[in-house]
Amino acid sequence: MASSLPDIDAFRHVMGHFGSGVTVITSRDEAGPVGFTASSVASLSLRPLLVMVGVSDGGETLPAMRESGAFAVNILARHHQDLALRFAAADRADRFADVSVAAGSTGSPILSDALAWLDCRLHAEFPAGDHVVVVGRVEACEAVAGEPLLYYRGRFGGWLP
């Protein structure tokens, strides 16, 4: 076992071995919908219903989440690779172009073609390095039949080969 702290590359390499689902986190500010691709999402509590999301403290979505007091977790289907890449790209201008959305009960944008979604009210937040752990209280949720988009070792895939 190594006795020194790992560097960023080693950390990324190791964490790349942890497969995860792929989501688009959405919210709304005065200018309209905002969002980003996230794989740091997890259920947190059943009483009350809570989810947690890792959000960069330098992006546009965290201020919108704070301003609106709400956000949505859109769980992507296997065929959404292009959508995941679009919401992960540095260019934020056209993320919602030609993407069908509906307003959730909180007003947060729900991707109409999502495999599943959770509409959340901001419950709490905790600073965590260059990110903030945002906890949302689930106000509504829904899922449809389909296969999830997964991310493992820097690549997209699905449940089945």
Q: How many domains does the chain have?
A: 1
pTM attached to this predicted model: 0.94
> What is the separation, in whole angstroms, between the first and last Cα of the chain?
34
Domain with 56 in it: what CATH number? 2.30.110.10
> φ and ψ at 66, to 5 degrees?
-70, -45
The pLDDT of residue 4: 81
In a domain, 82, yes or no: yes
Measured over the CA atoms of residue 85, residue 92, residue 57 and residue 67, the dihedral's sign is: negative
Question: Tens of pLDDT along 123-145?
Answer: 999 999 999 999 999 999 999 99
The pLDDT of residue 28: 95
In a domain, 13, yes or no: no
In a domain, 67, yes or no: yes
Rounded distance, CA 155 to CA 110, Å? 25
Enclosing domain of residue 130: 20-157
In a domain, 140, yes or no: yes
Q: Are 10 and 83 in contact (CB under 8 A)?
A: no
In a domain, 8, yes or no: no
Bridge partners, residue 149, by sequence: none
Tell me the pairing of strands 23-29 and 70-75: antiparallel
Rounded distance, CA 125 to CA 69, Å? 11
Q: How confident is the model at residue 159 (pLDDT cuts 50, 70, 90)?
A: confident
Contacts of 5 (CB under 8 A, 6+ apart): none
Question: Tens of pLDDT along 84-122?
Answer: 999 999 888 889 999 999 999 999 999 999 999 999 999
